[in-house]
Amino acid sequence: MKQALWISSAALLAAAFMIHQPALAQQPAAGKAKSAQSPASRPLPPTLTPQTYPAAQVKTGEQKFAGQCGFCHGRDAAGGETGPDLTRSELVASDTRGDKLIPLIKAGRPEEGMPGFKSLSPADLNAMVAFIHAQKTKFEGVAGDRRSVDPSDLATGNAEAGQRYFNGAGKCSTCHSPTGDLAGVGTRFKGLALLQRLLYPSGRPAPARPKATVTLANGQIVTGPVSSQDEFIIVIGETPETRQTFQKSAVKFVVDDPITAHFDQLAKYTDADMHNIFAYLDTLK
């Protein structure tokens, strides 16, 4: 039963795929993707500076990479439990012999959950870089990557139904306008990046931060974007120079975070709603 259901839905999906073939032809050509587009939904960016490495160094790098990076990025660097596919990374594509990769590996991306690897030796770092580039070269010749989501895969929704949802049940039009903030959104974001972004704005470019109004004990009022907060403190200000930290117990504060509406909506979407709204936003070129 289970298997029969699966096969029939797979057949439907295959049919949908064929229907949308013409749309596929309108997708941007390889290499022209905007940087906001998800790495998983576009062809591999070409390596800026072709580079080769000794096989022994690649082999060492494979082992080092597996132990330190493999759980998140996959042992083959093509994506793991939480980390992105590095063979589709623009940073890797633009790296020359570790000039961009090594500083990133050392520093990490703490805000995105990647720790810094400060204690790796230069030889290990160089070997990892060699392996990542070798994998990228290898995957450039492979079609239909195992973790890819192509923009055409997502083209199963109905744009008109999506527009109705936008103005009706979804209440999107309460905050958004297709001719205002969302003008051209279908050009700025493609495929998986557009889908993820419409569900919950995050990633790059960073969405607007929540706004806080803090009233100090002396009556002074401070307003500004929330840089970070937990149960006990709230940090306001865009840059390190302007940031101010307040103990929540010592002040009165109000935070206006319009993105909470996106979180609340996650419990309400049907998958059809999601695909329809995607189809609609995709038309806003």
The minimum distance between CB 278 and another protein, in angstroms, equals 9
Closest to 188 in 3D by CA, of 210, 166, 205, 164: 205
Nearer to another protein, 71 or 283 (CB): 71
Nearer to another protein, 101 or 234 (CB): 234
The minimum distance between CB 179 and another protein, in angstroms, equals 27
Nearer to another protein, 219 or 264 (CB): 264
The minimum distance between CB 25 and another protein, in angstroms, equals 18
The minimum distance between CB 58 and another protein, in angstroms, equals 14
Distance CA 54, CA 177 (A): 54
The minimum distance between CB 75 and another protein, in angstroms, equals 6
How far from the centroid of its chain's Cα atoms is residue 52's Cα? 29
Distance CA 268, CA 193 (A): 21
Distance CA 254, CA 229 (A): 12
Nearer to another protein, 230 or 241 (CB): 230
Tell me which residue has tokens 């995105």.
112
Looking at the chain, how many residues does it have?
A: 285
Instruction: For residue 149, give every residue at least 6 positions away whose Cβ sits within 8 Å of its Cβ, in sequence order, or none.
Output: 38, 40, 41, 191, 192
The minimum distance between CB 272 and another protein, in angstroms, equals 10
Nearer to another protein, 5 or 25 (CB): 5
Nearer to another protein, 90 or 145 (CB): 145
Binding positions for another protein, rule: CB under 8 A: 2-3, 5-7, 9-10, 13, 16-17, 40, 63-64, 66-68, 70-72, 74-75, 79-82, 115-119, 144-149, 153-156, 192, 195-196, 199-200, 202, 228, 230-232, 262-263, 266-267, 269, 271, 274-275
Closest to 55 in 3D by CA, of 1, 113, 127, 110: 127
Neighbours of 141 (CB within 10 A): 7
Spatial contact of 244 and 203, defined as CB atoms under 8 Å apart: no
For the packed helices 271-282 and 191-199, what is the interaxial angle rounded to 10 degrees? 120
